[in-house]
């Protein structure tokens, strides 16, 4: 496997189900991200993990729960979702570095999980 | 509220022409700038990054940055039908969480044969 992988690629779930999305990066990066992409809206950053610590939680509802057991793996646990949560969920990774006070942060995306909540 | 603005398009150009995609951003503290290409139904793919004022060329792509005007652009020379996609501009602001990229809504490009 190369790059960033995500499973499953497609997921249909009812509002009472519990499911998890998985992301794995094979790039040796030290940061991982979850994004949500809905139609007609820009990519929304949900969570950031840097060196396995969560450093950002962009006011995401508690029905989304991230987990980062190590620097290569990232999970998004889903429970009691709403139909408006239907979207493409993207995982990304980067090697965060600072040089002369500037941040260099090229992020590489996985293929995404297309989630439909019925 | 930090924002990144792009014309949603669609921008239509004939094959072989130069496509010019533009992006403005609101935060003067922004340090790093990226262009992603996203084909329909696919995830974003990084195609260019630029960190200092001026031009950066990579094959048929040229990124241009003007921090004073808070403006970044992407030129695609000799446009091909395979360049038809949505192009996302992303900006990384210095300070706070370095990992935060703010994305624009994207410009849809259509290259007509």
Residue B28, classified by CB atoms within 10 Å of its CB into exposed (0-12), middle (13-18) or buried (19+), is exposed
Whole-number Å distance between alpha carbons of B23 and B90:
9
Residue of A42, A97, A113 to mutate when probing chain B, most B C-beta within 10 A = A42
Whole-number Å distance between alpha carbons of A102 and A116:
39
Residues in B lying within 8 Å of A, measured between beta carbons:
4, 31-32, 34, 36, 42-46, 49, 51, 88, 90, 92, 94, 97-106
Per-residue pLDDT of chain A (118 residues; tens, 9 = 90+): 689 999 999 999 998 889 999 999 999 998 999 999 998 788 998 998 887 777 776 689 999 999 999 999 999 999 999 999 999 999 999 987 766 555 667 899 999 999 999 9
How remote is the C-alpha of A91 from its chain's centroid? 4
**What's the pLDDT score for residue A99?**
61
- Report whether B97 contacts A33 (CB < 8 A): no
- Report whether A34 contacts A25 (CB < 8 A): no
Q: What are the Cα distances from residue A36, in Å, to A18, A64, A94?
A: 18, 11, 17
**What's the pLDDT score for residue B60?**
97
Phi-psi region of B82 (alpha: psi -120 to 50; beta: other; left: phi over 0): alpha
Residue of B7, B24, B43 to mutate when probing chain A, most A C-beta within 10 A = B43
């Amino acid at each position: 496997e190369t790059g960033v992988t995500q499973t499953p690629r497609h997921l249909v779930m009812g509002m009472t189900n519990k499911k998890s999305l998985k992301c794995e990066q094979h790039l040796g990066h030290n940061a991982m991200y979850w994004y949500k992409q809905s139609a007609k809206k820009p990519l929304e950053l949900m969570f950031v993990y840097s060196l396995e610590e969560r450093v950002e939680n962009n006011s995401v509802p508690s029905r989304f729960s991230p987990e980062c057991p190590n620097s290569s793996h990232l999970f998004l646990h889903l429970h009691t979702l709403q139909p408006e949560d239907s979207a493409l969920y993207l995982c990304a990774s980067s090697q965060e570095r600072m040089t002369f006070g500037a941040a260099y942060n090229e992020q590489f995306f996985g293929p995404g999980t297309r989630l439909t909540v019925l | 509220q930090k924002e990144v603005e792009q014309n949603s398009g669609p921008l239509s150009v004939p094959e072989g022409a130069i496509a010019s995609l533009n992006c403005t951003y609101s935060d003067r503290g922004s340090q790093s700038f990226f262009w992603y290409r996203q084909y329909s139904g696919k995830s974003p793919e990084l195609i260019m990054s630029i960190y200092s004022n001026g031009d950066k060329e990579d094959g048929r792509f040229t990124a241009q940055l003007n921090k004073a005007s808070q403006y970044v652009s992407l030129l695609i020379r000799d446009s091909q039908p395979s360049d038809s996609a949505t192009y996302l501009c992303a900006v990384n602001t210095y300070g706070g969480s370095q990992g935060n990229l703010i994305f624009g809504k994207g410009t849809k490009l259509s290259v007509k044969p």
